[in-house]
Structure 1
Amino acid sequence: MTALAPALLPASGGGESYQPPTPAIFWQPLFEVGPITVTNQMAWAAIITGVLSLVLIVLSKNAAVVPSKGQWLLEGVYNFPRNSVARDMIGTKEFKKFVPLLVTLFLMVLFYNLAGSFFLTMNPVTGKVGFPIALTLVVYVVYHWVSIQKMGLGGYFKHMIPPGLPAWIVPFVFLLELITYFITRPLTLALRLFGNMFAGHMVIYLFVTGAFYFLLQGDGILLQALSVPTFLMAGVMVIFEILVQFLQAFVFTLLAASYIAAAVADDH
């Protein structure tokens, strides 16, 4: 509920001017444990992870050939990242051992994102950059580890240089590949997710606070009437944001699978 407070306080300074939302709305401390500040996003991340884990365990515990409604729903959710991401990207030979990771990533990112559209939170967990970074680190470690296991440490760095290059260009290509594998990939994977969730939520807050400002502080009937389409636009943005939240979970998982697919491919 703390995330809703800025929307209910559209202006400061006696209502003289509109104060747009700032990134400070994402900083929502709850309490401190020593030097650690527990925030709203941390609490909801723990709740979502716990509830999601419990639901998956309960629905899969008594799996049967003829599925119950719960098992049927679970299988539908499970089969999407399994078949449309893991199998299609990694291939039928290698994909099965990575299915648990990719299904987990998809569900965690999806529900962390959806916290931004849930009335009690209205604040995506992934709107704080630390969470996308933590998820990206898992992918980062996995695809490097798989590559080194397959090719050896020396072979892993050697495969970054395409055969047949002139000797003078090899150092430049190798440097670019090192930057791609160790900096660009993880950086873009994390920042893409964070940026979309952060920006989308800021736009929603902009419309909501603007609508409240027109309604409560508007000078004249026309400005007050303008609050109605502004509120409607905020609702449209929430619906659009739900679509983006799903797409970003899919894209994050798809890119993770593509990196793992490159690591297990035979044609290095």
Structure 2
Amino acid sequence: MHLPPLLELGSFALGKQMLLVALSVVLVAGFFMWAVRRQALVPSKGQYLGEVGYGFVRNHLGRDIIGEHDFRPYIPLLFTFFFFILVNNFFGSVPLLQLPSISHPGAAYVLAGIAYVTWVVMGIKRHGFGHFMGKMTMPPDVPKILYVLLIPIEFLSNLVIRPVTHALRVFATMFAGHIAIMVAASMTAFLITEMGGLGAATSVLSVVLGLFIYFLEVLIQVLQAYIFTLLFAVYVQGALQEGH
């Protein structure tokens, strides 16, 4: 699953996951550059797919969540998050590659860190540091005496725990799904090679289980790319909106 490094230079190590991350950048950039190479009023299939993908992120994750007046500056980051995570997740379902890059926590935390810094900085820029911290830690329409308890709770929830769960959600699901597929495949191999004729016959059930898990994992791979990007849009919207 997590193979030894392919190349080591001092403290730097180049492994399979780093290569897959680099490959994902090439694939995403290459596809959309190819899709828009010849823009036409009547789009080709490639241009149509590119426009549908861009329109989905722009309209459903940008405009509808962040708002008509504020969403445009965030389209590039929303677009990058969604398709970068989607392709890296899909690597877990590609034969021979069979490793979702986001199953390594480092990749997930970097993405969540970029999202966290972005919405916090933009929130402070919009409202000022004091007002922004008030928005994050002081819920409206609450008796002031309760702020003694709520301020530390809201601070931990919104500014400490939120980025951690943002990363863990996509990492944990990719890691768990990959482990499940590996277990099903190992079960099939064990039944065929170690259990003899009866084991080979019952291995059909483990194959069916593995196929079910495989297609379920494909669905989860799409959902996790969507959820990560959706949550980023929600966090941006919450940081930018005016307080009550």
Q: Same fold (TM over 0.5)?
A: yes
Identity of aligned residues (%): 33
Write the distance in 1 (CA, Å) between the matches of 2:207 and 2:42. 46
Deviation at 1:252, TM superposition (A): 0.7
My pick for the range that moved more, 164-173 or 153-162, is: 164-173
Deviation, 1:67, is: 2.0
Secondary structure of 2:7's aligned partner: strand
Name the SS of the counterpart of 1:37 in structure 2: strand
* Structure 1 equivalent of residue 220 of structure 2: 244
- Say how many residue pairs are matched: 243
- The offset of 1:78, in angstroms, is 1.1
Aligned partner of residue 92 in structure 1, secondary structure: coil
**1:264 aligned onto 2:240:** yes
Tell me, yes or no, if structure 1 residue 46 matches structure 2 residue 22.
yes
Q: 2:121 aligns with which of 145, 164, 172?
A: 145
CA deviations on 1:3-58 (whole Å, 9 max, x unpaired) are xxxxxxxxxxxxxxxxxxxxxx3344222122111111111110111221122223
Matched ranges for 1:1-268 at <5 A: 25-159=1-135, 160-163=137-140, 165-218=142-195, 220-268=196-244
Paired residue type of 2:184: F
Q: Distance in 2 between matches of 1:259 and 1:252?
A: 11
Unaligned runs of 5+ residues in structure 2 are: none
- The change in CA–CA distance for 1:163 and 1:74 in structure 2 (over 3 A counts) is closer
> What one-letter code is carried by the residue in structure 1 that aligns with 2:123?
S
Please list every run of 5 or more consecutive structure 1 residues that lacks an aligned counterpart in the other structure.
Answer: 1-24
The CA RMSD measured in Å over matched residues stands at: 1.6
TM-score with structure 1 setting the length: 0.86
Whole-Å Cα distance in 2 between the matches of residues 260 and 126 of structure 1? 23
Deviation of the 1:126 alpha carbon: 0.5
Once the two structures are TM-superposed, the CA of residue 165 in structure 1 deviates from its matched residue by 4.2
